[in-house]
Structure 1
Amino acid sequence: MTPLDYEFLRRLLKERSGLDLSTDKQYLVESRLLPLARRVGLGTITELVVKMKSGAEQLTSDVVQAMTTNETFFFRDKIPFDHLRDPILPTLVQSRAMRHSIRIWSAACSTGQEPYSIAMCLREFGPMLSGWRTEIVATDLSQDVLEKARAGLYSQFEVQRGLPIQLLVKHFSQTGEMWQLNADIRSMVQHRQLNLLQDFSHLGKFDVIFCRNVLIYFDQETKISIFERLARMLEPDGYLMLGAAESVVGITDAFRPCSDRRGLYQLNPARMARPGGAATLAGLKVAAAR
């Protein structure tokens, strides 16, 4: 792969997915895209780039998906799901007692382990949520990973990563060498294709948003834009869950951290109290530059 090929791919990925590759990630691009090139009968990354430049839109889409498919596993990092069990769900059960509904968004859900982990947490609450409408919306840029997520079919290796054995026995059925989530858990999750760079206001308001381990791949301006739009999607007393390596500090004042709860945020009351509610994107850029 030539330096010009790499620059073309860097610009394309930034424009299509927000992925901000540094100049030293050429090895990553080659490891992800060489198998794709060979699958379509091309020998090199350069040949792949030439074909993309000729207008091969499906190939371009495949390249973006190959570069943005990230690792995931059940109950990843554990702490976010501890937060979901306490304080989030007990608090929401009280505050939503009149409407009897909870909406949760799993953004960049990949092959579905995160939203299904959320669904299993909700099931653990049993009688407390009896008669409630619980809606989990799972979105991802890649149609391929969404199809796998919808099927809820996982290998022995995948179910061994983070999934407690009692939940495997309770919520999965073995199919040959694979394990499939039972239909009642699968039915709790709606899967939709979505690019976080584009408008997502049509999804409506949420009580909880999981947006973990995706913003680390974006540049500062893109992070600011996404945080601004996430703030408009969250109920005033809702919760935002970020990944262990992610933070709002120095990026936005739209959210404030929950005390002693790593990765957990709520809307910033000080900003909500300002005239006009949420600050403008321009205002956020000024705040981030301080």
Structure 2
Amino acid sequence: MNRDSFAFIAGLVKDRSGLVLTTDQGYMLETRLGPLLKREGLADIDALALRLKDPRMAGLAAAVTEALTTNESSFFRDGKPFEHLRRVLPGLAATRAPGVPLRIWSAACSTGQEAYSIGMILTELPLGGRRAEILGTDIAQEVLARARHGSFTQFEVQRGLPARLLVKHFRQEEGRWRATPELRAMARFEHVNLLSDLRPLGRFDVIFCRNVLIYFDTQTKARVLDAMAAQLAPDGVLYLGGAETVLGLTGRLVPVPGERGVYAKAKAGVVALAG
């Protein structure tokens, strides 16, 4: 793979997804794109780059982008955000008008473990009969299909899912564990690019966007955070990954005191300056 081919593919992927690829990731490119090269009958990455320059190859460009996105997920990942969610949801439910559902967004949801973790929490909270909607979104169609099916390997359920919740919310099916129809019905999964216009998604009380921004450059992080802040309810909560922050990126969000990776909207008229 020559330098120009890498630069072209890296630029294409960044434009389509925000994902930043660095020159030391050439091996990762060759590994993840190997199956696609075989399927397309292409000899190497250079041949792929050449074909991608044809403007009619939008479908191939989407497949390349999907192959290079990181789809790491687990149930109740890192624990503390979900403990905080348990504490904050009853208060949010109590302040909403009658008949208005709580709306929770799992952005870059991968195969759905985060969305289903949220769903399991909702079944155990006293929300006064308040209905809740969970939206999981991702740029990769393959992982969305898996999320909708709600089927996980033994290894996947052993990563963070307590035994009591496994028994309560999952059933064994052909050597895998599948979420019950009731749990699957709590979440819907849609194809959404975080670089697109997020306004059609509507307003959310809670947004999870964890371990996503680490793959973006500073400008893209700021753009996504500002867009998410615009969709967050005035008293809503945003959860980021432990290594992520809003500081220096946006003035529309501020850290929740005493909580790592938890952010709220800046109060009107008190928007902090970013950078």
TM over 0.5: yes
Distance in structure 2 (CA, Å) of the matches to 1:60 and 1:251: 29
Distance in structure 1 (CA, Å) of the matches to 2:238 and 2:40: 40
Q: TM-score, normalised by structure 2?
A: 0.94
Distance in structure 2 (CA, Å) of the matches to 1:21 and 1:136: 31
Report the residue type matching 2:172 in the other structure.
Q
1:96-245 → structure 2 map (5 Å cutoff): 96=96, 98-99=98-99, 101-125=101-125, 128-129=126-127, 131-245=129-243
Give the match for residue 78 of structure 1.
79
Report the residue type matching 2:178 in the other structure.
Q
* 1:31 CA drift (Å): 1.9
* 1:97 CA drift (Å): 6.3
Distance in structure 2 (CA, Å) of the matches to 1:57 and 1:273: 43
* 1:57 CA drift (Å): 2.4
Distance in structure 2 (CA, Å) of the matches to 1:42 and 1:253: 47
Distance in structure 1 (CA, Å) of the matches to 2:100 and 2:200: 22
Aligned residues, how many? 274
SS of 2:178's partner is: strand
Distance in structure 1 (CA, Å) of the matches to 2:57 and 2:91: 50
The unaligned stretches of length 5 or more in structure 2 are none
The unaligned stretches of length 5 or more in structure 1 are none
* Deviation per residue, 1:31-78 (Å, 9 max, x gap): 211232123332321222222223332221111001114211111111
User: Contact 1:69–1:142 at 8 Å: present in 2 too?
Assistant: no
Distance in structure 2 (CA, Å) of the matches to 1:91 and 1:148: 33
SS of 1:15's partner is: helix
Cα RMSD between the aligned structures? 1.6
Give the match for residue 92 of structure 2.
92
Distance in structure 1 (CA, Å) of the matches to 2:39 and 2:161: 33
Deviates more, 1:47-56 or 1:12-21: 47-56
SS of 1:84's partner is: helix
2:35 aligned with 1:58: no
Give the match for residue 18 of structure 1.
18
Give the match for residue 2 of structure 1.
2
User: Contact 1:174–1:180 at 8 Å: present in 2 too?
Assistant: yes
User: Contact 1:100–1:131 at 8 Å: present in 2 too?
Assistant: no
Distance in structure 2 (CA, Å) of the matches to 1:66 and 1:262: 31
Distance in structure 1 (CA, Å) of the matches to 2:131 and 2:94: 15
* 1:93 CA drift (Å): 2.9
User: Contact 2:203–2:232 at 8 Å: present in 1 too?
Assistant: yes
Give the match for residue 36 of structure 1.
36
User: Contact 1:72–1:111 at 8 Å: present in 2 too?
Assistant: yes
User: Contact 1:213–1:242 at 8 Å: present in 2 too?
Assistant: yes
* Deviation per residue, 1:73-107 (Å, 9 max, x gap): 11111111111112x11321332264452110110
User: What is the percent sequence identity of the aligned residues?
Assistant: 49
Give the match for residue 262 of structure 1.
260
Q: TM-score, normalised by structure 1?
A: 0.90
* Deviation per residue, 1:159-215 (Å, 9 max, x gap): 111111111100001012111100001001011110010101011111001111111
Distance in structure 2 (CA, Å) of the matches to 1:264 and 1:7: 35
Distance in structure 1 (CA, Å) of the matches to 2:41 and 2:171: 38
Report the residue type matching 2:94 in the other structure.
Q
Distance in structure 2 (CA, Å) of the matches to 1:227 and 1:164: 32
SS of 2:23's partner is: coil
* Deviation per residue, 1:90-142 (Å, 9 max, x gap): 321332264452110110001111101100010111xx235322101111111
| Cα distance, 1:124–1:15 mapped onto 2, change above 3 Å | same
Deviates more, 1:201-210 or 1:17-26: 17-26
